[in-house]
């Protein structure tokens, strides 16, 4: 089973902020991380998802749409609790750092890297 995890801006109290991540901040954050790129096209269902981010999968040489842009935050499916090699989670934390955001669990609670080891 997988859960929807989130990347969203948080305030100084660690609460979800009313001020989300802007598309420009998101594009900049994605552009700084090796192995990530902005999809810039419609997804497999024909939905306009120009800000979704894709992760390069070295095992098959394909780009996989992982981080789904939702207007002021991003979501991603996660099923790797306890798996430190889960490829998305480190990228999620890297993405969250740039715009002053956090990785949030399905209940929108802040997660830390050590929660996944």
The β-bridge relationship of strands 53-57 and 101-104 is: unpaired
Q: What is the b/e burial string over 13-42, where b = at least 16 CB atoms within 10 angstroms of the residue's CB?
A: eeebbeebbeeebbbebbeebeebebbeee
Task: Check residue 113 and give its pLDDT.
Answer: 86
- List the chain residues with pLDDT less than 50: 1
Write down the pTM of the prediction.
0.84
pLDDT tens digit sequence for 56-76: 988 899 998 899 988 889 999
């Amino acid at each position: 089973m997988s859960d929807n995890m989130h990347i969203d801006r948080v305030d100084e109290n660690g609460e979800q902020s009313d001020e989300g991540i802007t598309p420009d901040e998101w594009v900049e954050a994605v552009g700084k991380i090796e192995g990530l790129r902005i999809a810039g096209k419609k997804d497999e269902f024909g939905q306009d998802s120009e800000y979704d981010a894709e992760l390069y999968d070295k095992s098959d040489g394909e780009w996989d749409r992982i981080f789904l842009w939702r207007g002021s935050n991003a979501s991603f499916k996660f099923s790797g609790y306890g798996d430190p090699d889960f490829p998305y989670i480190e990228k999620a934390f890297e993405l969250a750092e740039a715009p002053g955001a956090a990785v949030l669990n399905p209940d929108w609670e802040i997660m830390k890297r050590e929660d996944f080891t």
